[in-house]
Amino acid sequence: MPGVQGAQHGHAVTDRGTRGQVARLILELGPSTANTLGSRLGLTPAAIRRHLDNLISEGLIETRTARTYGNRGRGRPAKLFVITDAGRSAFEHAYDDLATGALRFIAQTSGPEAVAEFARRQVSELERRYEPVMAQASDLTSRVQALAGALSADGYAASAGPAPAIGAAQLTGEQICQHHCPVAHVAAEFPELCEAETEAFGRLLGTPVQRLATIAHGDGICTTHVTCTERVTKTPNESGGL
């Protein structure tokens, strides 16, 4: 059964053993060589290869051959180790189940407002860490770019750029897209997590924001419209007047 298999994999990669550290490092670094992984974790070549072989046999990682450009000379092309979809899901689902269960307990014992308060407190830590980065940005565009960069560093794979105007007011704005959400499965049941994050974005950017789409609701990416508070106006010459 998929649920049982996911639970087994989750236990394999989220324990505190060295194998779990190897898998998490590959997840964080992306395609990596055995030498890189061994050096980062302080393992001998024999030890790192033993853990890599075990992870491959469990279907949590796989190998690829590094691309070479031009004359690479003699020797074998470098072998890269990458996380598989099963490996990535193992990390996500192992914690999702625990987090969802905890939030259900909070909702049942203390009510929906307690869940919302929990979400706000969780996001407040993210907000606190991002504030120094945001303080270095001088205008809205640079603040949006800084926020997208901070989100990407936390695993949200975020990008930013101009957005089309929304509504009759024709407000200019920016757009932040998050292509990955570590808590998407939990947020699908508890949208309070998304709501708290959106509120934090507005405070960090100092301008109204609007969540247009979320991964938790099956939209593929999380899209946030960032409003520029200056209304777009036209001069008489621009509008064809005298």
Q: Are residues 59 and 127 in the same domain?
A: no
Q: Are residues 186 and 76 in the same domain?
A: no
Can you give the pLDDT at residue 157? 82
Task: Output the CA–CA distances (angstroms, integers) from residue 76 to 67, 73, 151, in the order listed.
Answer: 12, 9, 37
Does residue 95 lie within any of the structural domains? no
Q: Are residues 122 and 43 in the same domain?
A: no
Q: Of the residues 55, 89, 123, which one is the last residue of a structural domain? A: 89
- Kindly report the CATH number assigned to the domain that includes residue 11: 1.10.10.10
Confidence of residue 216 (pLDDT cuts 50, 70, 90): confident
Can you give the pLDDT at residue 51? 94
Residue with more model confidence, 76 or 185: 185
Tens of pLDDT, residues 34-51: 999 999 999 999 999 999
Q: How many CB atoms lie within 10 A of CB 156?
A: 20
Q: What percent of the chain has pLDDT over 70?
A: 78
Q: Are residues 23 and 118 in the same domain?
A: no
Q: Are residues 76 and 121 in the same domain?
A: no
Q: Are residues 126 and 19 in the same domain?
A: no
Q: Are residues 74 and 183 in the same domain?
A: no
Mean local confidence (pLDDT), 201-207: 95
Q: Are residues 40 and 150 in the same domain?
A: no
Does residue 156 lie within any of the structural domains? yes
pLDDT(127) > 60? yes
Does residue 172 lie within any of the structural domains? yes
Q: What does pTM read for this prediction?
A: 0.58
Q: Are residues 47 and 134 in the same domain?
A: no
Q: What are phi and psi of 160, to 5 degrees?
A: -145, 155
pLDDT(83) > 70? yes
Q: Of the residues 89, 123, 153, which one is the last residue of a structural domain? A: 89
Does residue 241 lie within any of the structural domains? no
CA within 13 Å, CB half, 143: 20
Sheet (strand 158-166) strand order: 158-166, 171-178, 222-231, 209-213
Mean pLDDT lowest among 22-31, 219-228, 229-238: 229-238
Does residue 100 lie within any of the structural domains? no
Residue with more model confidence, 188 or 85: 188
Can you give the pLDDT at residue 16? 43
Can you give the pLDDT at residue 239? 41
Tens of pLDDT, residues 135-194: 999 899 999 999 999 998 887 888 999 887 555 555 568 999 998 887 888 999 999 999
Domain that holds residue 211: 111-231
Partners of 65 in the beta sheet? 79
Domains contained in the chain, number: 2
